[in-house]
Chain A
Amino acid sequence: MIERSTPLRRLLTVEVPILAIIGFALAPYLWMVLTSIKPDADISAFPLRYLPSRVTFEHYFTLLAQTSFLGNLFNSLVVAVGAVAVGLAASVPAAYAFSRFRFKGRQVLMTQFLVINMFPVVLLIIPLFVLMRYLHLLDTYFGIIIGHSTFAIPFAVWMLTSYMNGIPRELDEAAMIDGASRLQTIRLVILPLLMPGVVTTAIYIFVTSWNEYLFAMMLSGDHVRTVTVALQLFVGEFTVQWGLLTAGGTLVAIPVTILFLIVQKRLVSGLTAGAVKA
């Protein structure tokens, strides 16, 4: 576009409005973090004290030392890592099939993965609860990991397929002509090139699992309660202790924020690819 706007004009018509939008996007987050480092006296001060009179980490210490929160964080980590492992193990081969083979039913199956993604969670969660109870998988890591990875697989397959389509077929054909077996070709040629896509997909699955609430709530009991479920129980338990609650919220939000910012550009292009290419 022809750039003729003066710096002042650009400041007023672009930078100030975008600053306001970013303020709106970050304000609730910042308010939560700010509350978590205020002493209790500041939190309940009236009229409100916007900035803390002194910065304190007492809420974090109380939360980690006196509640089950540390254990819940660990549970969420185990579940999310497990979901990444199971999700990748299932979706990388599936993406390979969709990218490298043209077979009968390919289009139907790819579409099927999209449709599955659109089902209301309520539709699945009721029978899954009954099924998991029947299989004695309630309140086990395995039950939640299987559920979380399954919810992430359809999108992971689509993302990985589009990454794999970006790797020229000539490369694997050359390797196979040179005598590499199919599995060797996948391991030595495709996977190294696919790594950025695998990392992005892994983070997508991790964040999806870490953030998930409904399924984890129905499936987890005291043993494998994840952090989102625990935090929601705390809301009922410590209604007035906003210092503790916001400290917990901050501890849950920070890992996903960091992960998301690391792969933000690639993840966004992966997630929006379907929309943009259409």
Chain B
Amino acid sequence: MNLPAAPTRRSLLPFAFLAPALAVEVAIICYPVLQTVWMSLHDFVLFRPNSVPFIAFGNFARAFMDPVFWLSLWNSVLWIVFIVLFQFLLGLGTALLLNRSFWWRGLARALVVIPWALPSVIIGLMWTWMYDYNLGVINDLLLRLHLIGAPIAWLARPDTTLPSIMLALVWQGFPFFAVTILAGLQTVSQEQLEAAEIDGANAFQRLRSVVLPAIAEVLATALLLRTIWVANSLDVILVMTGGGPGYASHTLPLYAFLKAYSSMEIGYGAALSLILTALLLFVVYAYVRRAARAEAAA
């Protein structure tokens, strides 16, 4: 290496360092994705492995005729919109509060992040226990406060099950927005804030006209990233209700998973997960463009 390396060797060197990471990514991610595409074009059922007829877009056509697909898609829309919205609002409020100075701010900032660190199985377990019909603390509190007259079977009623799981997700994910927005708030110019204050702007006007425009880029990136994660997340639903009662808490990724795993209709499950990917593609594209631009600027 002390000698000047030959040009070809030098240009190959970075790829030698990249080889291990690229190799596993290709084997464990790229190859499966391609295989999913292949599966989606076949009538592939796991308990009938020797007959896998090519059916072109048959699986996709089937989805369009499938009422459960449309229900899952609609649930996914509700799921994404409300979870991301409430995570965002709660996270923004938390970040604005944590941006003020008080003596235990460091502790508060550390504690608020904890829900985000927990495994989905534990989140499902905690919330299932709190939603319990007889012994759950949520029914107990609401009864004591006389907000409800009788206990509610939160996870067993078709009208309450999805909102109940969504609350657990809001709880789990708002710390992400809080810490991201908090980091963004550190970059807001103090001079501008003071100038606005001297000009007589009240706290809300300062927030709208100075703070929010300054952190707009951070907010946009955080929203895109979170949308992708929330759209893909299915394990908390799987753990809490398995998609039930009936199809009441089916979202698109969960339906794809259940079709492939429980019904063993791998071809159809693959097609459903590809539809999800296609729907998310423009969100991913918007995020990646931002992130790549930031990296190029760094």
Q: What are the residues of chain B within 8 A of A232 when measuring CB–CB?
A: 121, 124, 239
Whether the Cβ atoms of A123 and B18 lie closer than 8 Å is no
Whether the Cβ atoms of B260 and A122 lie closer than 8 Å is yes
Whether the Cβ atoms of A130 and B266 lie closer than 8 Å is yes
Given A46-B134, A122-B256, A232-B239, also A26-B29 (CB < 8 A): no
Given A123-B36, A214-B235, A249-B125, also A25-B13 (CB < 8 A): no
| B149 contacts A by Cβ under 8 Å | no
Number of A-B contacts (CB under 8 A): 303
For chain A, residues 252 to 267, give those with C-beta under 8 angstroms from any C-beta of chain B. Answer: 252-253, 256-257, 259-261, 264
Interface size class of A (residues with CB under 8 A): 35 or more
B187 to chain A, nearest CB (A): 7
Q: Which of B119, B183, B197, B253 is within 8 Å of A253, CB to CB?
A: B119
A116 and B144 alpha carbons, distance in the complex (Å): 49
For chain B, residues 42 to 57, give those with C-beta under 8 angstroms from any C-beta of chain A. Answer: none
Number of interface residues of B (CB under 8 A): 109
The listed residue with most A CB atoms (<10 A of its CB), out of B125, B225, B298, is: B125
| A43 contacts B by Cβ under 8 Å | yes
Whether the Cβ atoms of A25 and B175 lie closer than 8 Å is yes
Whether the Cβ atoms of B253 and A120 lie closer than 8 Å is yes
Whether the Cβ atoms of A115 and B284 lie closer than 8 Å is yes
Q: What are the residues of chain A within 8 A of B18 when measuring CB–CB?
A: 93-94, 97-98, 109
Whether the Cβ atoms of B21 and A126 lie closer than 8 Å is no
Q: Which of B120, B126, B232, B260 is within 8 Å of A31, CB to CB?
A: B126
Whether the Cβ atoms of A91 and B36 lie closer than 8 Å is no
Q: Which of A32, A93, A114 is within 8 Å of B125, CB to CB?
A: A32
In the complex, the chain B residue whose C-beta lies closest to that of A111 is: B292
Whether the Cβ atoms of B140 and A48 lie closer than 8 Å is yes
Whether the Cβ atoms of B11 and A260 lie closer than 8 Å is no
A246 and B124 alpha carbons, distance in the complex (Å): 11
Given A29-B115, A118-B280, A228-B121, also A1-B36 (CB < 8 A): no
Whether the Cβ atoms of A257 and B291 lie closer than 8 Å is no
For chain B, residues 103 to 141, give those with C-beta under 8 angstroms from any C-beta of chain A. Answer: 108, 110-115, 117-130, 132, 134-135, 137, 140
B250 to chain A, nearest CB (A): 13
| A192 contacts B by Cβ under 8 Å | no
Q: Which of B1, B19, B24, B276 is within 8 Å of A120, CB to CB?
A: B276
State which of B63-71, B77-85, B91-99, B152-160 sits at the interface with chain A.
B91-99
Whether the Cβ atoms of B232 and A91 lie closer than 8 Å is no
Q: What are the residues of chain B within 8 A of A213 when measuring CB–CB?
A: 119-121, 235, 239
A7 to chain B, nearest CB (A): 9
Whether the Cβ atoms of A211 and B296 lie closer than 8 Å is no
In the complex, the chain A residue whose C-beta lies closest to that of B2 is: A179
A98 to chain B, nearest CB (A): 8
Q: Which of B30, B101, B130, B234 is within 8 Å of A28, CB to CB?
A: B130
- Write 28 A-B pairs (CB below 8 A) sorted by A numbering: A18-B94, A22-B108, A28-B115, A48-B137, A97-B17, A98-B14, A106-B14, A109-B18, A111-B292, A116-B30, A120-B231, A120-B276, A126-B32, A127-B31, A127-B32, A146-B28, A153-B24, A213-B121, A214-B235, A232-B124, A249-B125, A252-B119, A256-B118, A257-B117, A257-B118, A276-B183, A276-B184, A278-B220
Which chain A residues have a beta carbon within 8 Å of chain B's beta carbons? 1-3, 10, 14-15, 17-18, 21-22, 24-26, 28-29, 31-32, 35, 43-44, 46-48, 50, 86, 89-91, 93-94, 96-98, 101, 103-104, 106-107, 109-111, 113-116, 118-128, 130-131, 146-147, 149-150, 153-154, 157, 162, 165, 179, 181-182, 207, 210-214, 218, 228-229, 231-232, 235, 242, 245-246, 249, 252-253, 256-257, 259-261, 264, 268-269, 272, 274-278
What would 15 more interface pairs be, CB under 8 Å, given A26-B111, A120-B256?
A: A24-B171, A107-B296, A114-B288, A118-B287, A120-B280, A123-B32, A123-B270, A124-B36, A128-B32, A213-B120, A214-B238, A218-B261, A264-B110, A274-B291, A278-B220
